Amino acid sequence: MNESIAYCGLDCEGCKIYLAARETDKQEKKKIIEEIIDLCKTNYGVDFNLEDITDCDGCCSSGRVFQSCLNCEVRSCAIKKGFDNCAFCDEYACDKLSRIFNMEPRAKIRLDLMRAGV
């Protein structure tokens, strides 16, 4: 299982929160977090403070997971059903995933390839 691919097919390695967690330069990390705050406000209408953006090791990791990811209904569903990701679910692709696929079509491509065994 690739822990950098989220249950929904998003690539955590492309996530600024995931990248900020790996940044060793404190100033650069702060700059990335400020970008995250701006993106969340602009794109999702969510107001975060610097301390709200916690380190994340990826949606499927057993380590640190960002708060919004902890509350994700897709993640919760996949964990409850015991799947490594949604590609292996009998209900693939459900309405929960459709919302993500509309925002990020590459997530569907990733899961389709996994489902096909590629």
So where are the chain's domains?
Answer: 12-115
Q: What is the pLDDT of residues 61-107, one digit of tens each?
A: 888 888 888 888 999 999 999 998 899 999 998 988 988 898 889 99
pLDDT at 77: 94
- Concatenated DSSP letters for the chain? --TTB-TTS-BGGG-HHHHHHH---HHHHHHHHHHHHHHHHHHH-----GGG------TT-SS---HHHHT-HHHHHHHHHT-SSGGG-TT-S-HHHHHHHHH-HHHHHHHHHHHTT-
Q: What is the pLDDT of residues 29-51, one digit of tens each?
A: 999 999 989 988 887 788 888 88
| pTM for this entry | 0.81
